[in-house]
Amino acid sequence: MALSNFLEDCLIYRDDDVLVIHKPVGILTINGKDIFDSVLTRLQQLEPRTLLIHRLDRDTSGLLVFALNKAAQSHISKQFQVRSTEKMYHALVEGQLEQDGQVDIPVCYDPSRPPLHIVDATHSKPALTHFKVLEQLELEGQPVTRVELIPVTGRSHQLRVHMQYLGHPIVGDTLYATTQGQTLMPRLCLHATTLSFIHPVTGKTVKFVCPSPF
């Protein structure tokens, strides 16, 4: 995607305070240790006022909000910190997940196997995910389930690790899926479909929806 078309192609909403985009799969939200191309750097080249608020993993697509001034950045960042924003994801997971539920177990970084994360019941910071079954289907003859995921907390790799913990890793996940599950789709089937927060100026709740591409 050419830089000149990036904002035009990805833009969901824009005003004087916030910028909401559809993040493509395969690009970092911010620069990595050795990677100097990201959503933030591309946006800043096109709109220098762009400021980071939250992130999505490189291989996750979907809704991201950025601020266009410090006041908006602080206001919305605090909403994420106190968990007053609403985030919803859609995913395809391996196997037939039969019922709705939640996963309530901490997730932490595994220093022995970077960049993997693991569940660790002794870890001090909680991680909570609600999940809802949407559809049972097949990919290449293999059973998969479309699910709605709502992360109450926002730990790194939380949704991916929690679904693996359930025994239903996300299809296309090169870190946590089974060998077979990695081959069913050419991408991680995790997409941020819905995002709502209180607008920093109007004080009204705004909600954005970006349908899943898979």
Q: The tokens 């080249």 sit on which residue? A: 45
Polymer length of the chain: 214
CA distance 49 to 17: 10
- Structure-block tokens of residue 27: 């690009």
The number of CA neighbours under 13 Å toward the Cβ of 66 is 25
DSSP state of 40: H
Which amino acids are annotated catalytic?
57
Q: The tokens 């002794």 sit on which residue? A: 122
- Torsion from C-alpha of 5, 206, 44, 151, nearest 10 degrees: -100
